[in-house]
Amino acid sequence: MTWKQRLGSAIPYILLTILTIPVFVGYLWIIISTFSGRTYGLVPVDSQGNFGGLTLENWSFLWEDPNIWFVTLNTLLLSVLLTVGVVIISALAGYALSRISFPGRKTFLAGTLILHAFPSVTLLISIYFVLRWISNLPVLGKGLPIIGGFGYNTVGGVALVMVSLSLPLGIWLMKGFFDNVSWDMERAALIDGCSRLRVWWEIMLPSIKPGIAALSIFTFITGWGAFLIPYTFITDQEKSTLAAYLNSLMGETAPVNYSRVAAVGLFQLIPVLFFFIFTQEYLLSIFSGGSKGGT
């Protein structure tokens, strides 16, 4: 390789490096500031303005505020409910839309696409009324253990709303993955003795594993970072989700401790970060839109 070729192959890396520096510096600042009283640029300083002043004070919420653990579990619960709901419904609906011709199929597909285009903010008020109505149902409304129910001011209710808002995208994604599975394989399975449901379960689902993984991860992360819906439909911010909890730290009464906000933010970010590191390969397959391997 001549030096020219070497330079040529290095240029993309150089460009990428330059482009990622601001993002990288941003995260670095967050990490540093959570361990400092104050910072001057990226340098932690003490009250006299000298280097130093490192502290764990900003992380004290972990052991001083019992709400944080409650909120974390709540967020986890919401994310899991959301993921399970979206994946199951999308996988069933996507299969039907991909493989079975029934009246209204085209309309349904177009309809979900339009729904997906609606910003959810516009629906907040109407959703509020729906949740209030569900609240009045016996047991289902607000009488269930753990998730509270599916009505207003319950984790289940928030999950229900978020599932419905995520379904259009999920269904389209799953339909896309099913479209890529060969008809012959499905026919072979039908001839080999499967019922339609069994084909779905034993042949189709395993063939689109990367798609299911991608959708699960994507949905889980959406749930983990959810703010607007939990913030709106759970009245007590300190018992809602991490994002809402974070928001409550920036109340109007006291001066905002940005180092603490950064610490809570980082705390929320850690699981997502790990998630991404281990699953980025699957996430990429959402964009390439096909199942890997196969025959």
Partner 1 sequence: MKVLLENLSKHFGSVVAVDGVTLDIRDSEFVAFLGPSGCGKTTTLLMVAGIYKPTTGIVKFDERVVNHLAPRDRKIGMVFQSYALYPHMTVYQNLTFPMRLSKVPKSEMEARAKEAADILGIGALMDRRPGQLSGGQQQRVALGRALAKQPDLLLFDEPLSNLDARLRLSMRGEIKRLQMELGITSIYVTHDQVEAMTMADRIAVIREGKLQAYATSDELYDQPRTLFIAGFVGNPPMNLIEVEVLQEGDSYRARRNGFDLQLSEARGHKAAGRGKVILGIRPEDVSIGDRGLRGEVYVVEPLGRDDLLDVHVGDASVHVLADPSLHLKIGDQVQLGLNVDKVQFFDPESEQSLLWA
Residues forming contacts to partner 1 in the complex (CB under 8 A) are 182, 184-185, 187-195, 198, 203, 206-207, 209, 293-295
Output the smallest distance, CB 287 to partner 1, in A. 21
Closest CA to 214 of 288, 269, 121: 288
Burial of residue 208 (number of CB atoms within 10 Å: 0-12, 13-18, 19+): buried
Q: Among residues 3 and 183, whose Cβ is nearest to partner 1?
A: 183
| Alpha-helix residue ranges (DSSP H) falling in 54-123 | 61-64, 67-99, 105-117
Helix, strand, coil abundance in the chain, percent, nearest 5:
70, 5, 25
Q: Among residues 105 and 187, whose Cβ is nearest to partner 1?
A: 187
Q: Among residues 208 and 262, whose Cβ is nearest to partner 1?
A: 208
Alpha carbon distance 229, 244 (integer Å):
10
Q: Among residues 99 and 239, whose Cβ is nearest to partner 1?
A: 99
Output the smallest distance, CB 220 to partner 1, in A. 23
Q: Which residue has the tokens 């600042």?
A: 29
132-138, long-range: CB within 8 Å, 24+ apart, which pairs?
Answer: 134/160
Output the smallest distance, CB 180 to partner 1, in A. 12
Q: Among residues 6 and 105, whose Cβ is nearest to partner 1?
A: 105
Output the smallest distance, CB 202 to partner 1, in A. 8
Alpha carbon distance 165, 147 (integer Å):
19
Alpha carbon distance 69, 57 (integer Å):
18
Alpha carbon distance 270, 268 (integer Å):
6
Q: Among residues 116 and 196, whose Cβ is nearest to partner 1?
A: 196
Output the smallest distance, CB 291 to partner 1, in A. 8
Extended beta strands in the chain, E state: 38-40, 43-45
Output the smallest distance, CB 190 to partner 1, in A. 5
